Amino acid sequence: MFKSYYKLFLFFSILAMLVNCANRGMPSGGEKDTEPPKIRYSTPDNFTTNFNSNEIEIYFDEYVKIKNAQKQLIISPPMEPAPDITPLGSASKYITIKINDTLQPNTTYAFNFGQSIVDNNEENPFSYYKYVFSTGDYIDSLSVRGAIVDAEKREPEKFVSVMLYEVDSIYNDSTIYKSRPKYVTNTLDSVSTFSIDNIKAGKYRLVALKDENANYTYQQKSDKIGFYDKEITVPTDSFYEIKLFKEVADFYVERPTQVAKQKIQFGYRGDAKELSIEMLEEKPEGFEYRIVKDEQRDTLYYWYKPNIELDTTLFVVRNKAYVDTLKHRFRDLKVDSLIIKPSGTGTIDFDKDFSIAGNVPFEQLDLDRITIMDRDSIKVDFKTEFDTLRNTYRFKFEKTEANTYQIQFLPEAVTDFFGKVNDTLNYTIKTKKFSDLSDVRVSLIDAEYPVIVQLTDNSGKVKYEQFADAPRMFDFRHINPGTYYLRVIYDANGNRKWDTGNYLKKVQPERISYYSKIIDARTGWDLVEEFTLLKTDPDLPKN
């Protein structure tokens, strides 16, 4: 028995020694590789002149792959069709560029790889490698530099294409819609500055695009655009600041569709402020219609009564110079029942009004059947405003702190377009104590009036705003505590809203200035912020 235990003990002891020795002898793997790959050579050589090849090979000291080339690789001037570049996804010790386009004579081409070249193991990037060649006998070496800012937002867009169009006999303002630029660069995802390099002397137009389709042509429906107002003469030492903005789309209306009984939907894009819709067919006696805008979408609803016993009809849609005739086919659908929704219940801000909206157009409001009572059961006087396009009634009354308001609509207080009425409706809203809120005073230095002063959240949504056409203090009283961003809109036309730009009309968006500090509005605090505004025109180039 003892011998058996001894043999077993000896076996496990030897096994443990072997495992321990094996562990001590296993390699640790060494330090993590942080070195980017290095180029050994390329054929033809980088910066070759009188280039006449259709294939380029770039050799590295280790295996590499190309990552996210669609966004990172910038070819200037752009090539059409695009070159074939390998390897994509797999690894190799060299990159091959097969040129499929017919190269222009006496032109310098640049392949800027951004962060797309990485080693195979750790994906360390070989950052911003540029392969340059010229089909002429010298390399163009001039540059245009600048920065991209967003006309409305605090932070600029990423991956913005910045382009130069040569001003020659065939250039006109519509060129950017249908032709590729002479030179191009991209801000990629890390910086808002740009430098368009390896360009030749001449006259150019400078345009920036948030090019959603990556085709180097302007698509108004999807792209943001920015432009410099005047021609640029290269060489230049100026630094150009380009404001990127989304245009109001050219007006267009979609074919109408029946969405409920006596309710027809017209989808559209653009500015519909002056839009009119006319039914051409002979209409029954007493015919009436109302047009209401959808709360969320660019959609108008055409409500009509009485019902029309037709299979089809024609509508003429007019909006400024736009005229279109659209055919509509009627469908037998159910009628919408009246639903009334309040703007909100619970706590209400002091600068907001209580309102109601309906899914069917409102026809009449009986004020004698509506009461607003405060917490002491005292009636509160109120006035109403009706927005016909949005089908909304606003109730304006003086609110006091720490109060509760009971709002009651008795039956038949609201009558809709078809004569339907409401049942009893009860809503409750409350106000906070002033001590639970915050006050912010804003003083503007060197402002150019009229202006709109806004407090926004981190996403840019406007929480509070005030307008002024002459110097004054801007007191934001009894606002909810939180962090805000302060911005000032130079409301040049005094219409009390920010207006975007228009490329063809050469109109820049209205200027917006952001305060550099975050506004920390705390409970019970009174803040005073002094905002000094720059007088210089931001649209001028900076030396």
Note the pTM of the prediction, 2 decimals.
0.85
CA dihedral 72, 75, 78, 83 (to 10 degrees): -90
Same domain, 105 and 178: no
Residue 234 shares a structural domain with residue 187: yes
Q: What is the pLDDT of residue 10?
A: 47
CB 412 within 8 A of CB 421: yes
Q: Do 443 and 514 belong to one domain? A: yes
Rounded-to-integer distance, Cα 541 and Cα 535, Å: 15
The DSSP symbol for 339 reads: -
pLDDT value of residue 24: 43
Q: Is residue 294 part of a domain?
A: yes
Q: How far apart are CA 493 and CA 171, in angstroms?
A: 32
Question: With helix as H, strand as E and coil as C, how does 100-117 read?
Answer: CCCCCCCCEEEEECCCCE
| Domain-embedded: residue 525 | yes
Query: Do 62 and 119 fall within a single domain?
Result: yes
Per-residue pLDDT tens over the stretch 96-155? 999 999 999 999 999 999 989 998 888 898 988 999 999 999 999 999 999 999 999 999
Enumerate residue ranges in the chain where pLDDT < 70. Answer: 1-33, 536-543
- pLDDT score recorded for residue 127: 86
Q: What CATH number corresponds to the domain at position 48?
A: 2.60.40.1220
pLDDT of residue 537: 54
| 415: its two tokens | 């009558």
Do 233 and 148 share a domain, yes or no? yes
Residue 22 belongs to some domain of the structure: no
> Is residue 334 one of the residues assigned to a domain?
no
pLDDT of residue 5: 45
> Containing domain of residue 380, as a range?
340-432
Statement to judge: residues 419 and 443 lie in one domain: no
Examine residue 507 and state whether it is found in any structural domain, yes or no.
yes
Tokens 């929704």 locate to: 341
Pair (259, 219) in one structural domain: no
User: Residue 491 maps to which CATH number?
Assistant: 2.60.40.10
Considering the domain boundaries, does residue 21 fall inside one?
Answer: no
Same domain, 453 and 402: no
Same domain, 407 and 448: no
> Which secondary-structure segment (H or E) carries 13?
helix 2-25
Strand-pair partners of 444: 531
Which of 277, 294, 329 lies at the terminal end of a domain, its last residue? 329
Selection from 410, 536, 512 nearest residue 460 by Cα: 512
Quick one: 43 and 125 in the same domain? yes
CATH number reported for the structural domain that contains residue 174 in this entry: 2.60.40.1120
Q: Is residue 114 part of a domain?
A: yes
* pLDDT at residue number 89: 77
Residue 398 lies in a domain: yes
* Same domain, residue pair 441 and 410: no
Query: Checking phi first, is residue 89 left (phi over 0); if not, alpha (psi -120 to 50) or beta?
Result: left
Final residue of a structural domain among 134, 154, 185: 134
What CATH number corresponds to the domain at position 295? 2.60.40
The total number of structural domains in the chain stands at 5
Question: Do 524 and 454 fall into the same domain?
Answer: yes
Tokens 């690894």, residue? 91
Last residue of a domain, one of 244, 279, 295: 244
Q: What is residue 191's predicted lDDT score, i.e. its pLDDT?
A: 76
> In this predicted structure, what is the pLDDT of residue 303?
98
